[in-house]
Amino acid sequence: MTAPAFINMYQQLIAEPSISALDPQLNMSNYSTIELLAAWCENLGFQVEITELDSAPGKFNLLAKRGEGEGGLMLAGHTDTVPFDDSRWSYDPFKLSEVDNKLYGLGSIDMKGFFAFVIEAIKQLDTQGAKQAKPIMILATADEETTMAGAQEVAKHQSLKPEFCVIGEPTDMVPVFTHKGHMSTAIRVTGRSGHSSDPARGLNAIEVMHKIIAKLLQLKDTLKNKYSIEHFAIPYPTLNLGHIHGGDNANRICGCCELHLDIRPLPGLSIQELQLLLLEAVKPINDEYPNSVAVIDLHDPIPAFTGTTDSALVKLAEAVSGEQAIAVNYCTEAPFLQQLGCETIVMGPGSIEQAHQPDEFLAMEKIKPSQEKITQLINELCFKTKKAT
């Protein structure tokens, strides 16, 4: 018995809801998706290990391995998807819909579909009689879209030592050798509420937040002017004021105001340094209004992924894809999986422009060339055959 046909795998993966969200009402287990992958991997002769996350009960990682010895290639992806707004989807998010030469479905490119490509590639190589020479590992993680807890726990795996790692996020099969990190932070101002007719009897948290925002905009300019890496389309760290709420009535002094912001650090700018810059920016306001300002991580910060353009894996990926490796502004599990000591790239089917969008889709004309490149990459790194067909 072997894995199902490519499109059938795609259909089954999309049909298993596995949303991860910080809102408990939206958050789901990914176990049904993991079970699917485990069965397909076992049918191809992989030894499969399923592990429940210590930090997120009900969420699971899968590590499948075929072949003995050191090194080899790990093909990695996450099994979770973002939540969706049903009113903005034209199709059922949990049913693979083929319309106008596109495959629609939640996770079609971000990134459940990658597993179908990988398993199909291994099936093809086995059918061709190619002899495996190096270990192949398939890693499927949980909660990439929220905390990246799955990848962080894998990074602590003492005995997992692949030589190479390819993370199949949607890059249109262009290799990515470096990317920015991600910090989501809340700044909470606690004032004193009271009647608006007597401002002196309260402390208006909105007014205090106004002063903080001025400091944050200065920090935004500092980051733009002080740090730069030319590889990136946006060469500096970005700071975005994304969400603010406070107060409850026009005739009441606002007692609490909270601002959520997003910062994208460059490689070389550590999370610790960035957190210090943020604390320094708000310190004068906290000194003026003692103990009124709190800075809170909304989730564990994700460091930037630092790679090089001259690694063996990057050079091979460039040769296979016909594309020069690039830097991107979004972030992935790469900085955590890189901790295993492996050369790491991000490279997978589908366009990042479709990620987190209503009516997410994979363009069908990209299936064949993407499949050929993934198969060639696996062949070059793990099999003795010189060229995959």
Residues forming the active site: 80, 144
Q: Is 94 exposed, middle or buried (0-12, 13-18, 19+ CB in 10 A)?
A: middle
* CA neighbours closer than 13 Å in the CB half-sphere of residue 214: 9
As beta bridge partners, residue 240 has: 262
203 and 292 Cβ atoms separated by less than 8 Å: yes
**Cα–Cα distance measured from residue 70 to residue 128, given in angstroms and rounded to the nearest whole number:** 25
Site of tokens 């991580």: 297
**Cα–Cα distance measured from residue 97 to residue 99, given in angstroms and rounded to the nearest whole number:** 6
- Three-state DSSP at 112 gives coil
**Cα–Cα distance measured from residue 16 to residue 315, given in angstroms and rounded to the nearest whole number:** 36
224 and 240 Cβ atoms separated by less than 8 Å: no
Site of tokens 């909105």: 206
Which helix H or strand E contains 194, and what residues bound it? Answer: strand 194-195
Neighbouring residues of 331: CB distance < 8 A, sequence distance ≥ 6? 179, 180, 181, 182, 264, 302, 304, 305
Would you tell me how many other CB atoms lie within 10 Å of the CB of residue 279?
12
Concatenated DSSP letters of 186-211: EEEEE-B-EETT-GGGSB-HHHHHHH
Q: What are the φ/ψ torsions at residue 215 (nearest 5 degrees)?
A: -65, -40
Amino acid at site 157: H
- Three-state DSSP at 85 gives coil
